[in-house]
Structure 1
Amino acid sequence: MVLVTGAARRIGAAIARTQHAAGWNVVVHAHRSVAEAQALVDELNRERAASAVLQLADLADPTRLAPLAEAAHGRWRRLDALVNNASSYFQTPWGTIDDAQLEELFASNLRAPLLLAQACAPRFGAGAAIVNILDTQTPRPQPPYAAYHAAKAGLWSLTESLALELAPHVRVNGVAPGHMLWAVSGGIDAAEQARELARIPLGRLGGADEIARAVRFLLSSDAAYVTGAILPVDGGLRLR
């Protein structure tokens, strides 16, 4: 059974569908996108009865993380994997960054993945795994996203740290997407989209399913000897 945060739509929903198609039961986490998340759960349960459940939680509230892990485990009395996908993403031009922006970006991109992994760890069974969704551009960040990339850099480091701390019983890896889908709130107009596409060696957006397939691999027995790895799924974007 896998808990996927931010699974109501986009990449999170693709991860949930892909793991479900691979035979996993899925806990679909959402906060505000309740209708979309419930529709996804209903869809998965039509395909295979009693195989998906919705759990609502505000990941910015640290007190909700341990109950989320407990509820995820309690549904089927097991917990095999955690995918930390939920992420806030927006511009923070230098000179305008404030505490509220930092709180939102660090809460979703670093604090929640850390505390949720900590809450899930005692509930994991043998061969469990965590996958954190990172960002291929974090090692070479583009302005004006300093606060976002600072948070993702923390999650990148956390991925490698937890691979050591949770070994040998839990594997911890990351997937680093490039331009997969245009951000809803990224402020990228058509001209900038064209410039960004020109930077991608493969010349196209990746799409959510590319990330979902990478996550499926890292959660599978095919990756049983893989931990502490960051898998770029970016069409070569990191090379530029």
Structure 2
Amino acid sequence: MSKLALVTGGAQRIGAAICRHLHQRGFDIALHYRHSAQAAEGLAAELNAQRPESCQLWQADLANMQSITELGQKFLARHPELELLVNNASGFEASPIEDCSEALFDAMLSSNLKGPYFLIQALLPALRAGSGSIVNLIDIHSERPLQHYNAYCAAKAGLSSLTRSLALELGPKIRVNGISPGAILWPEDADSYDASMREKILSSTPLLRRGEPEDIARTVAFFAEEAPFITGQILAVDGGLGLAQPGSQ
């Protein structure tokens, strides 16, 4: 019987790479999406063509408590055991302190911290039954703040702390680890990272290039299947960017 992985924000970008890689390794995929229905349906069709009934879709707004609760209840009714939860869904938006609104601040915390927290809570029975692994997607900017993205960075720092806290709280049944990507994919909003900022980041990266979504996907699989004695750890997958001197970005 195949193991099951629930990947949030799995329809596109890094999430889609994680789904494809885990599926290739034999996992069945519970693919969560919020608005990207067309992309989610296309990826599910692709995976199901490779292995029938191996990918199912789950729609929910993880910034909304009622939506999280409903997702949890429906998921547990269908799947009493869950081997892997990948908290990949994320929000990313600039929030300069001078004009950041309460709504924007709350949106960054909801999508990056509150959502993962309460989804884990909702799925605890299945994770315990499956001796599950949780992998949280964080960001190197949780430790190396990105100017004008203070709410996002604060939320990711909270998720980093939560990863370590839950590793203590949920062992020995459940392992909890995190991945901090560096430059993998540029934000979809081109204005967020203009050409000069992108060049500055790459020139500060010892490997002098971006990573690929597959680099993150392989690391998720490592934590899930090849690291049974690792919990509470956060691995930077950043080409060495975290080694750069402060202020070089």
**Would the TM-score normalized by the shorter structure come out above 0.5?**
yes
CA RMSD in angstroms comes to: 1.2
Aligned partner of 1:148 in structure 2 is 152
Aligned partner of 2:95 in structure 1 is 92
Greater than 6 Å deviation, 4+ residue runs: none
SS in 1 for 2:192: coil
Aligned partner of 1:120 in structure 2 is 123
User: What is the aligned length?
Assistant: 239
Q: Distance in 1 between matches of 2:216 and 2:142?
A: 17
Question: Any idea what the Cα deviations from partners look like across 1:117-167, whole Å, max 9, x if unmatched?
Answer: 011111222431100000012112120111100000110000001001110
Matched, 1:226 2:234: no
**Which one of 51, 58, 75 corresponds to residue 61 of structure 2?**
58
**Which one of 151, 169, 175 corresponds to residue 171 of structure 1?**
175
Aligned partner of 1:130 in structure 2 is 134
C-alpha contact (below 8 Å) 1:86/1:109 kept by paired residues: yes
Question: Any idea what the Cα deviations from partners look like across 1:166-214, whole Å, max 9, x if unmatched?
Answer: 1000000000000100011361111221111111110011011100000
C-alpha contact (below 8 Å) 2:80/2:125 kept by paired residues: no
Amino acid at match of 1:146: N
Matched, 1:101 2:107: no
Amino acid at match of 2:24: A
Q: Where does the alignment leave 5 or more consecutive residues of structure 1 unmatched?
A: none
Aligned partner of 2:219 in structure 1 is 214
Deviation of residue 19 (structure 1)? 0.7
Amino acid at match of 1:72: F
Q: Distance in 1 between matches of 2:213 and 2:174?
A: 26
C-alpha contact (below 8 Å) 1:3/1:72 kept by paired residues: no
TM-score by length of 2: 0.93
SS in 2 for 1:137: helix
Question: Any idea what the Cα deviations from partners look like across 1:30-87, whole Å, max 9, x if unmatched?
Answer: 0111100110001000000000001111111111113223333444543111100000
